[in-house]
Structure 1
């Protein structure tokens, strides 16, 4: 009887893990639609190509080396071990002998983790859109998903030194979202802004996206996928406590996103006199990022407040980065990076185990490692193959220059 109960719980938790991973995988569609709507028509096909390719690269690289780097034994709490390829799965005997420590399939864990690394890489795609060479981006994706992301992930989720220092990050405001934004920032600094984005006298010229319906659809897909992102991070659902925790995480995730939308909308109304849709969309993402580091412990009201603060922050961050002439077509660095910092620190509002030292140490280490490593990789790619499209290719659009086709050939405009 005991074995039957254990096997049923194992099957249920494995299935829950896989469904959660599938929801997170669907976030790839969300990022793709969001970015496709926020860039100009002449760059949409290239954005679509980047997103389906980066997901494929992430899956393969994490299978070859990334997963074993992140969750291997480690040579020390700082230096991970390097292993190749994922191995077999658990036997009935191993599960029964673990006394409940093994409660889902290793392959389900791999699948759930691989969609997280793809999410981090998707963040970069939007920030460097419309002026980066496709193959330079994909080359960076190989290193990012195979090495940079797994190494910093090992330091916390793999039981490394950040975990020992008390850094808490339930589902990855720092480990996933801040990491992706920092890598994007390094690339954007070397890449420079799109032609015409900034004038010689400090002017900031808006470059409207091609399709707001697509961008809105993308955010709603991300909103849905985030239930798997945060909910799946509870890791199990087969007992009463875990089931209640999953329900709390789902409710808080939804409320934070709603708070983010309203925070951003109200802020833009006060600042600009208009309800800015693009800011509202980034507000939803900001609310989701803000709650991701701790979606379980806050009350529903606090979750909505955390999301609303994230929505306010993202508006000021997008405006501020523009003033610094950091060109981010989709607002990814602000929504995932600036708000990621807030999300990590917001853990202190509800989790009594969190410390200021642990949270700040986590952010500082992640920023230093990811920024320096990414800057080196981007710099090498710039020297070896170049990372920026030529002025002519940027003018005609990445669709033609990189992919040889257009997404909207009947009515596309060269602008």
Structure 2
């Protein structure tokens, strides 16, 4: 069959369009490297008897969120641009569900008067689907080894749908909260604060892992297999995120002038330098906290805390402000970490980073960048969606925090009732002790530690009433 040139819309496939397509595609690759980094960190910190199960559940949870987003999720986020031009949410979902017209059309066959830049939007489905999966990976960090697989997988599907709806409200430039003044360059609200809100419900329901916070009759200490894997995992995340930042920018004439997804004026160089400096500042303060407390965990939490705090404002900060925020952010993570530790709460990742540093960053932005113009859409000169009609404000930052965390709390409350009544929620303590690799996959670790030994069964493990091994503040044994 010959190609009918008369039906081709060349404006959809220009060299400029291709360059933008490649840029957004690189962000998708960067996001996948973030997933690899997260899996490396998990592999280094999960008890040997649960290591395969924890890794494969994260991987499958990622793809469940990823697939769910393709089926229905993108239509929620894209709806803000439909509503901007007097369309509806259902119009967007109809176009962008897995069987939708825009999802399944070749860009050069679609009149730009109907949908300009179609290739870019189609690539954005892939890009945001990866983050729907990342939300589930992050959630699993705090429910691993104690939530039943069926419960987790159901949660993954629900979380993908709800976070998609939340992204419509809180991320972009013309969604309800963002158009009013809530500023979130990187999606901190729906990617980080939302799962943290869910864990405010799930963490107390799931309880503590045996041997994590105190000695257990059969698990004298929670021993991680290879903490050293965390450092390359951390650097993998650091390396993967710069192209993701580029994918959170819109480029307009002249040539490639950059505006953030919130329509704030920015530039590629400043945004990337802000990213680099929050990591650097967080690493410096994390180093000081780690050596002062003799707790290795702050060497990892420090740079991540700086990043999470700064992510909402990479587009509007000046480099010196980003460095200052990076230096301060680990203190918020430290405060939350110590709070959870003293109360025996077995959650040492999402609470310190997201509820601690993430909240600090959103508030910091509302105070120090208040009045910065953003919102609306370039080319619209009047009305509710006029370009940069909105300004960053502390009140709207607080409203965004409450919305994102509150959505997570409500989602988990509803889910917990359903899961308890159907597939069950929590893995029994005895099964946790024996190991989920054995329970679900009939796998045994090739190395057994004294903490995995069963006293009284001819093992070399210490009796259950012997003193516990010295512990770092996160419950891991220290030699």
Give the structure-2-normalised TM-score: 0.77
Find the partner of 2:233 among 210, 218, 222.
218
The residue number in structure 2 matching 1:247 is 269
Are 1:150 and 2:164 matched, yes or no?
yes
The residue number in structure 1 matching 2:212 is 197
* 1:399 positional shift: 1.6
* 1:143 positional shift: 0.8
Paired with 1:107 and 1:240, the residues of 2 have a C-alpha distance of 20
The residue number in structure 1 matching 2:404 is 366
Which structure has the greater CA radius of gyration? Answer: 2
Classify the secondary structure of the residue corresponding to 1:242.
strand
Are 1:400 and 2:433 matched, yes or no?
no
| Count of residue correspondences | 402
* 1:95 positional shift: 6.8
**Per the alignment, do residues 48 and 293 of structure 1 end up closer, same or farther by CA in structure 2, a change over 3 Å counting?**
same
Are 1:347 and 2:365 matched, yes or no?
yes
The residue number in structure 2 matching 1:296 is 315
Paired with 1:331 and 1:235, the residues of 2 have a C-alpha distance of 32
The residue number in structure 2 matching 1:34 is 41
Are 1:173 and 2:188 matched, yes or no?
yes
The residue number in structure 2 matching 1:231 is 246
The residue number in structure 2 matching 1:209 is 224
The residue number in structure 2 matching 1:110 is 125
Unaligned runs of 5+ in 1: none
Paired with 1:315 and 1:137, the residues of 2 have a C-alpha distance of 28
* 1:90 positional shift: 6.1
Paired with 1:409 and 1:395, the residues of 2 have a C-alpha distance of 17
**Per the alignment, do residues 344 and 338 of structure 1 end up closer, same or farther by CA in structure 2, a change over 3 Å counting?**
same
More deviation, 19-28/189-198: 189-198
The residue number in structure 1 matching 2:24 is 17
* Matched-pair contact (CA < 8 Å) for 1:121–1:141: yes
* 1:96 positional shift: 5.2
After superposition, where does 1:257-406 map in structure 2 within 5 Å? 257-270=279-292, 272=293, 274=294, 276-328=295-347, 331-348=349-366, 349-350=368-369, 352=372, 353-406=391-444
Paired with 2:433 and 2:119, the residues of 1 have a C-alpha distance of 51
Paired with 2:352 and 2:198, the residues of 1 have a C-alpha distance of 13
* Matched-pair contact (CA < 8 Å) for 1:17–1:236: no
**Per the alignment, do residues 232 and 277 of structure 1 end up closer, same or farther by CA in structure 2, a change over 3 Å counting?**
farther
Give the structure-1-normalised TM-score: 0.88
The residue number in structure 2 matching 1:61 is 68
* 1:254 positional shift: 1.5
Write out per-residue CA displacement over residues 246-304 of structure 1, whole angstroms, 9 at most, x where no aligned residue: 2222221111111111112213434x2x3x33211111111111111010221222111
* 1:17 positional shift: 0.2
Paired with 1:206 and 1:281, the residues of 2 have a C-alpha distance of 21
Q: Which has the higher helix share?
A: 1
Write out per-residue CA displacement over residues 336-360 of structure 1, whole angstroms, 9 at most, x where no aligned residue: 2321111222223236231011111
* 1:395 positional shift: 0.5
* Matched-pair contact (CA < 8 Å) for 2:196–2:408: no
**Per the alignment, do residues 398 and 105 of structure 1 end up closer, same or farther by CA in structure 2, a change over 3 Å counting?**
same
Paired with 1:398 and 1:343, the residues of 2 have a C-alpha distance of 37
**Per the alignment, do residues 5 and 331 of structure 1 end up closer, same or farther by CA in structure 2, a change over 3 Å counting?**
closer
The residue number in structure 1 matching 2:471 is none
* 1:12 positional shift: 0.5
Are 1:161 and 2:161 matched, yes or no?
no
Write out per-residue CA displacement over residues 19-76 of structure 1, whole angstroms, 9 at most, x where no aligned residue: 1111012211111111121221111111110121012111210011111123236998
**Per the alignment, do residues 303 and 98 of structure 1 end up closer, same or farther by CA in structure 2, a change over 3 Å counting?**
farther
More deviation, 303-312/87-96: 87-96
The alignment's C-alpha RMSD in Å is 2.9
* Matched-pair contact (CA < 8 Å) for 2:107–2:118: no
